[in-house]
Amino acid sequence: MVGWLIKMAEGILISRTFGQVRTALVADGVVREIFCEQADDAGLVGNIYLGKVVRIISQMQVAFVDIGQSQMGFLHIDDIHHVKHAKTDQPKITQCIHQGERLLVQVTKDETHTKGARLTTGIALSSMHLVYRPYDEQQVQVSSRLAQDEKKRLRHALQAFVENNDLTGSVIVRTNAEAVDLAVLQMQTVQLKSRWQQITQKSSQAKLSRAEHMLIEAELPLALRNLREWVSKRTEWIVTDDGKLYESVLAYTQNMLNDTASIKVDFYQARTPLFEAHGIEFQLQEALKRQIKLPSGAYLVFDKTEALATIDVNTGAFTGKHCEQISIYQTNIEAVNEIARQIRLRNLGGMIVIDFIDMKDKKHQDAVLTALKSAIKTDRAKVYVAGMNELGLVTLTRHRTHDSLLQQLCEPCQVCDGSGYIKRVDTVAFEIIRKLLAKIGTHSEFGVVANPLVVEYLQTKEQQTVHDLERLMGKTIYLRADSDYHLTQHDIVYC
């Protein structure tokens, strides 16, 4: 039954392997999004802290806040709630906060190896269908992605409830609230108000105890966080292979939805691992590859730099049955849906540049751009398409809060230092030769320990060079191959 559901409908898979939890959003057997998290390495995004302002840089309008992490959090004046909504000119940051002040802040972007976490004082509490911002003016906002009639229904009904329950701040109705029963939304509104009261109470107690920093409320664990983000009217099933997660998922959905009859929650207990049994493991490995093949024989190439991500569309083996320009147009159209899926699946963020194959016909360019904008509409992250320039490049930006899939599962290569390239055998061999030249005049004999391929190159292609070095040094150079050495690793040792 579970296998049939996974192939035919939209749902969520949650798998735990000891300390690692992986969640996947699946529709019609195809993975749309994947997140992975170590139990002891959860991100900070969404966490609410009481922090202490330790430094203010007036020229940059920023402050550094100690929240008890390895690096100071980063707070820009635009992320101070009463400044963001001010109707007058922006004041100086020193007029808003002062050094030594203790603030209630929320993490909006995880810290990296070089930067601290991005912070905001504009607290936002999320439930499955709502977002509550307690510092905003009292109002009800509805996702712009919903139909006009649905927006009107939700806004009217919730506005009356908010006013009758004396709820300060703003309530934002999320896209996945479409067709949700009003009683469910009212229940979640009450829950959010209660959470905020608990947070303010705990923060006040922390200040009275003179705590300089404290975690006030931790974000949900990955599995429940993804349920909150992914569950919609299209969700028909949730499957997990872990007993504790099964109980947590069941309790969370019942608490958030009241009626879970429309969502089937299953506990998977078969021998074959959950992701492997339903083809998710294969799709996950494909998403880590630099090159993705398209059904026609064309392919996409993904590259990532510090500043941006690039996607290159290539015709590959696809020649088409029509003229060259029609074949190019067909290839670009075919690439659009896979590009939109891969951007979401890989969780690419920041600036993304797509290099479509050059199209001369303006109608073809417009059609490809329209198809791309349509394909990314299902993306939950905010995506802005800047358009196609005269070189055929399309630039878009995608809101980034969490690491990409590559960053979640991989690390820079120890051999190539993250460049994606490795030195050639002859390059390494001549590095060794130069190091030996520098030792002319010393009295000891030397040995070289290196990868077998490098040693073979020195003994064959550069045999005469080694003999010349031995004559210059007046000593024998011993070469020893060690298969435990990677290609670029070598040592010069005294004999």
Q: Does residue 176 register a pLDDT over 80? A: yes
**Which pLDDT score is estimated for 324?**
82
**Which pLDDT score is estimated for 2?**
54
Read off the pLDDT of residues 396-424 as tens digits, 9 standing for 90 and up: 999 877 788 888 888 777 777 777 778 89
C-alpha to C-alpha distance for 62 and 116, rounded to whole angstroms: 13
**Which pLDDT score is estimated for 5?**
52
- Greater confidence (458 vs 272) lies with 458
Read off the pLDDT of residues 61-70 as tens digits, 9 standing for 90 and up: 999 999 999 8
Which of 174, 168, 169, 138 has the alpha carbon at shortest distance from 154? Answer: 174
Give, in order, the Cα–Cα distances in Å from 416 to each of 114, 385, 392, 421, 432: 21, 34, 32, 5, 18
- Greater confidence (400 vs 199) lies with 199
Which of 68, 62, 52 has the alpha carbon at shortest distance from 102? Answer: 52
**Which pLDDT score is estimated for 157?**
84
Length in residues, the chain: 495
Q: Does residue 6 register a pLDDT over 60? A: no
- The beta-carbon contacts of 381-387 under 8 Å, at least 24 apart in sequence, are 381/344, 381/349, 383/343
C-alpha to C-alpha distance for 365 and 247, rounded to whole angstroms: 51
What is the percent of the chain where pLDDT is above 70?
Answer: 94
Read off the pLDDT of residues 428-455 as tens digits, 9 standing for 90 and up: 999 999 888 888 877 677 899 999 999 9
**Which pLDDT score is estimated for 85?**
47
C-alpha to C-alpha distance for 109 and 35, rounded to whole angstroms: 16
Give, in order, the Cα–Cα distances in Å from 424 to each of 417, 421, 469: 14, 9, 22
Structural domains in the chain plus CATH codes: 2-42+225-282 (3.30.420), 48-120 (2.40.50.140), 125-217 (no CATH), 287-409 (no CATH), 425-494 (3.40.1260.20)
Q: Does residue 1 register a pLDDT over 50? A: no
**Which pLDDT score is estimated for 245?**
94
Average pLDDT, the chain: 88
- Greater confidence (34 vs 403) lies with 34
User: Helix (H, G, I), strand (E, B), or coil: what is residue 330?
Assistant: helix
**Which pLDDT score is estimated for 191?**
92
